[in-house]
Chain A
């Protein structure tokens, strides 16, 4: 059952990603991005990473993308205007992309034997384990990241209030 679901969601993720690039209206692109994130969340879920799947949906699909859509609607952004495409990309784009893909696949398959990979449905990390790791083994990185985000929030507020001085 898992391989079938994997191909369904993997195809959906890639399909949405391609659609994201092809669509000319920003809202349609944003919707495709939500589709990509939802498909990825389903893949995480099949690996047993329930917490990461839920957070992926809550944070990325539910909060960040709502802001994207909000801004697109507020600015009333129209369809993008296509310029003449770069000739370099037209002829070299696809071959270079294929070379990159093959290289990546070879390195990954040499680096990891099939036995050492995570199997569907037997991911050992439960939500409590993630919390324990985060607040015991990785407490310093966690706190540093929180301060970084705090600085970003303060910076955003400062930038937004500048005009009133």
Chain B
């Protein structure tokens, strides 16, 4: 690898990281605004027009707050947990492609790393993400944190299975684990509807969406941080930037899941492209962002309208409904694919 390519790649990583963190900050603003509208309020309005500078103010507030460490915590693990959460959340984003292959100077602009096992990489990284939450809960020396951590580990294991199983249908259709190839397998149209995986795989899509919402600890599955019963769950004892790291990790995970759903089920960056060359280069990015935004909207919409599950309901739903349905979808899909290719 020559030096210019190395420098260019590093610059690309930094730019993507900055864009990602900005999007995460504005995802918080987006959620506050939208939930406020759903509840007939205004949401943030004071800092900047429409409260647009609110994320900046929040960042400064969180950075300058006093960092309190409660007594009796397990030192190293307590420090490690928020970092682990954020690192795994950001790492998962490194294989997400958000546009067609666009090489400038030998470097692909729209993806950090094109792995053959892209999807498995995301699954494995997200399966490591649970440790941040579990260890935070355990090391905080607080009963609410511990309960949050316990709930989280059981919930993650249960729903990871359903999420993984619901994706196998997509893999059967596209025959690859590479995210780019999965997207490219969805090019073209059937009559007037696009060849997106969501149409043949709608059962898999709903299983994946439900399991993914549960895995990102969002309402109606936010039992690990249920504020009405557990104060704030696993991050009760964290303050200042350590708390902010958990917060950023949660929104980054939301974003990764939205990107994944777009790539696997909604044809990624595919959409009508027209006009001059510059527009044709930008439109795929626009379609991708639009689809991801729809999923973020869905997240907030669900949060604004659905009440929280009870814990036994959550477990029963995961094991008795979601896993069997995903398994059934897998059997049905492999049957049809086998018949089709025979």
Using CB atoms and an 8 Å cutoff, list the residues of chain A in contact with chain B.
Answer: 27-28, 31, 34, 50-51, 54-55, 57-58, 61-63, 66-67, 69-70, 73-74, 126-127
How many angstroms between the C-alpha atoms of A73 and B143 in the bound complex?
A: 11
* Residue B67 CB within 8 A of the other chain: no
A27-B77, A54-B124, A58-B123 known; A66-B134 Cβ under 8 A = yes
How many angstroms between the C-alpha atoms of A27 and B123 in the bound complex?
A: 24
Q: Which residues of B contact A63 (CB under 8 A)?
A: 127, 157, 160
Q: Are A62 and B128 in contact (CB under 8 A)?
A: yes
- The one of B116, B117, B125, B157 that contacts A67, using a Cβ cutoff of 8 Å: B157
- Name the CB-closest residue of B to A71: B153
- The one of B116, B127, B150 that contacts A62, using a Cβ cutoff of 8 Å: B127
Restricting to B130-165, which residues have a CB under 8 Å from any CB of A? 130-131, 134-135, 137-138, 146, 149-150, 153-154, 156-157, 160, 164
Q: Which residues of B contact A126 (CB under 8 A)?
A: 116
- The one of A50, A69, A73 that contacts B146, using a Cβ cutoff of 8 Å: A73
- The one of B115, B120, B138, B146 that contacts A58, using a Cβ cutoff of 8 Å: B120
A27-B77, A73-B149 known; A127-B177 Cβ under 8 A = yes
* Residue B121 CB within 8 A of the other chain: yes
Q: Which residues of B contact A127 (CB under 8 A)?
A: 116-117, 177
How many angstroms between the C-alpha atoms of A28 and B127 in the bound complex?
A: 19
A51-B117, A54-B117 known; A69-B160 Cβ under 8 A = no
Return A13 CB to nearest CB of chain B, in Å. Answer: 17
Return B202 CB to nearest CB of chain A, in Å. Answer: 26
A-B contact pairs, 5 of them (CB 8 A): A57-B128, A61-B127, A70-B157, A73-B137, A73-B153
- Name the CB-closest residue of B to A50: B117
How many angstroms between the C-alpha atoms of A74 and B137 in the bound complex?
A: 12
Restricting to B48-85, which residues have a CB under 8 Å from any CB of A? 74, 77
Q: Which residues of B contact A61 (CB under 8 A)?
A: 124, 127-128
A50-B115, A54-B124, A127-B116 known; A66-B149 Cβ under 8 A = no
Q: Are B154 and A57 in contact (CB under 8 A)?
A: no
How many angstroms between the C-alpha atoms of A61 and B84 in the bound complex?
A: 14
How many angstroms between the C-alpha atoms of A2 and B157 in the bound complex?
A: 34
Q: Are A66 and B131 in contact (CB under 8 A)?
A: yes
Q: Are B127 and A58 in contact (CB under 8 A)?
A: yes
How many angstroms between the C-alpha atoms of A58 and B127 in the bound complex?
A: 6
How many angstroms between the C-alpha atoms of A96 and B310 in the bound complex?
A: 56
Q: Are B127 and A70 in contact (CB under 8 A)?
A: no
A27-B138, A50-B115, A66-B130 known; A58-B124 Cβ under 8 A = yes
